[in-house]
């Protein structure tokens, strides 16, 4: 283990902003990607349902 205390660990030898900034931004970006994909999937499913309900009313390909 390289660290004598939590304080020393969080300080990252004076480079805290750069080190934690890099890891934080990466985590945020990947979490955002997963979240955005969840929204896209819900939207896509909604559109398929719409096509399906139009088909049920005999309105095929009237999108």
Partner 1 sequence: MSAVNWFKYAAPQTFYVLAGRWIPWLYAVAILLAITGVYIGFAMAPTDFQQGEAYRIIFVHVPAAWMSMVIYLAMAFWAAAGLVFNTRLSSMMAQALAPTGALFTVLALVTGSLWGKPTWGAWWVWDARLTSELILLFLYIGFIALRASIDNPLRADRAAAVLAIVGAVNVPIIYFSVRWWNTLHQGASINMSSAPKMATTMLAGMLVMALAGWIYSIAVALVRVRCIILERERHAMWVRQLEEVQP
Residues in touch with partner 1 (CB under 8 A): 1-3, 9, 12-15, 18-19, 21-23, 25-26, 29-30, 33-34, 37, 40-41, 44-45, 47-49, 51-53, 55, 61
User: Looking at the chain, how many residues does it have?
Assistant: 63
**Token pair 């902003």: residue:** 17
Sign of the CA dihedral with 14 first, then 19, 24, and 25 last:
positive
- Determine the 3-state secondary structure of 41 from DSSP: helix
Q: How far is the CB of 41 from partner 1 (least distance, A)?
A: 5
């Amino acid at each position: 283990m390289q660290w004598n205390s939590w304080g020393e660990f969080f300080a990252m030898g004076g480079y805290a902003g750069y080190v934690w900034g890099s890891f934080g931004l990466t985590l945020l970006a990947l979490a955002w990607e997963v979240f955005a994909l969840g929204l896209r999937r819900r939207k896509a499913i909604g559109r398929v349902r719409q096509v399906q309900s139009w088909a049920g009313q005999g309105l095929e390909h009237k999108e």
